[in-house]
Structure 1
Amino acid sequence: MKINRHQIRESAFQVLFAKNANKDGNLVDIKDQVLEQYDTTEQDTQYLNYLIDGVLEHEDDLKAQISSKLKKGWSITRLTNPDLIILELGTFELTDQNDTPDNVVINESIELAKTFADDNSRKFINGVLSKIADEH
């Protein structure tokens, strides 16, 4: 099956979630396992790597940006792993130089939340990413 951008984002989430759960896991093996159901092109793999590597390389900065948009009294440690990973992916795409419009990034993040988080997470993720998008 051919992969689309939404499925690439889902795959990036799955790889980052698995890596977070198993810090010693081999990133290449995790990616291969997640992608085995798709027919991917070099361009697809590059975009997946762009998302994964971008989040991993800028994790501290992304967390700082997310933390600055949380309600007073909230800390990033209060977030569930799925919420945090979705926010990191969305924040990376919003703040990095790419051609994806902000509203698409936010909508894609909400779709990830529908699949991997709960109903409350969708509104929360929308709010945080909208604040980040307003600054960039």
Structure 2
Amino acid sequence: MNRHEAREKAFQILFQLDINDNEPEQAIEEFLEKEERDEFLITLVKGVTKSIPEVDKIIADNLENWTLQRIASVEKSILRISTYEIRFLEEVPINVSINEAVELGNMYGDDKSGKFINGVLSKIIA
């Protein structure tokens, strides 16, 4: 599994966790079933879930005319992944994290999701 696929699966797991109150390890096991466990995916899911208060504060501090509660679960989950990567995973280039987040937003969100995600992440790195 490459990092793009790992991010996409991590997004799907974190989206489920945002809606359902499961444990991260259980969600990973149920989602992957018989697929091979990927260390980057596990790092993202466990890291984001462990850091949600800090990550959410970073996101909330960089929103204009929005609150974190108003953001749809799709965009919130994507922003959490990218914000976690930017702040805690030095080996991931910032531009890669942002590009991947925008791409996920365009795939899973509505027609304005990618632009919204890009705007928030641009403020975070400024």
Structure-1-length-normalised TM-score: 0.84
Aligned partner of 2:8 in structure 1 is: 10
Preserved CA contact (<8 Å) 2:24 2:49: no
Structure 1 segments unaligned to the other structure (5+ residues): none
**1:69 pairs with 2:96:** no
What's the offset of the Cα at 1:97?
3.6
Aligned length: 126
Superposed CA RMSD: 1.6
Aligned partner of 1:58 in structure 2 is: 51
Preserved CA contact (<8 Å) 2:24 2:45: no
* Counterpart residue identity of residue 59, structure 1: I
- Equivalent positions of 1:27-106 (< 5 A) are 27-36=24-33, 38=35, 40=36, 45-71=38-64, 73-106=65-98
Tell me how far apart the structure 2 counterparts of residues 52 and 118 of structure 1 sit (CA, whole Å). 23
Structure-2-length-normalised TM-score: 0.90
Structure 2 segments unaligned to the other structure (5+ residues): none
Counting aligned pairs with the same residue, the percent is: 37
Q: Which consecutive segments of 4 or more residues in structure 1 shift more than 2 A?
A: 25-30, 32-38
